[in-house]
């Protein structure tokens, strides 16, 4: 719990966390309105895609959805992986102290 609190106290970490959640939100809203998916399906696809799991059970069906996904994943995967990397390094540093 102390690790999480120390993580949230750091301004740069909070920015990265906000950026990651914003990226999830952008994708969720886009897919909900563009593809006509439910909110749950939209956030599920966004999360599964950004974490590079990609089950393939839901895919964009419109041309705009496919084009958006190309750019969304190009930017979003780097952001999410950076967040996970920094979170892991922060946890490892504080765990060993």
**Cα–Cα distance, 24 to 17 (Å, whole number):** 11
pLDDT of residue 29: 98
CA distance 24 to 81: 13
**Would you say the pTM of this structure is higher than 0.85?**
no
Residue-level pLDDT at 23: 94
| pLDDT, one tens digit for every residue, the chain (97 residues) | 676 777 777 777 888 888 889 999 999 999 999 999 999 999 999 999 998 898 999 999 999 999 999 999 999 998 888 888 887 877 777 665 5
Specify the DSSP class assigned to residue 51: T
Q: Which domains does the chain have, with CATH numbers?
A: 11-95 (1.10.287.70)
pLDDT confidence of residue 94: 66
């Amino acid at each position: 719990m102390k690790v999480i609190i120390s993580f949230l106290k750091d301004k740069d970490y909070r920015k990265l966390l906000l950026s990651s959640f914003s990226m999830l939100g952008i994708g969720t809203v886009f897919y909900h309105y563009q593809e006509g998916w439910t909110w749950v399906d939209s956030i599920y696809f966004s999360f599964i895609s950004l974490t590079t799991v990609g089950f393939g059970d839901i895919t964009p069906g419109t041309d705009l959805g496919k084009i958006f996904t190309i750019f969304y994943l190009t930017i979003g995967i780097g952001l999410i992986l950076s967040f996970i990397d920094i979170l892991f390094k922060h946890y490892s540093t504080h765990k060993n102290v």
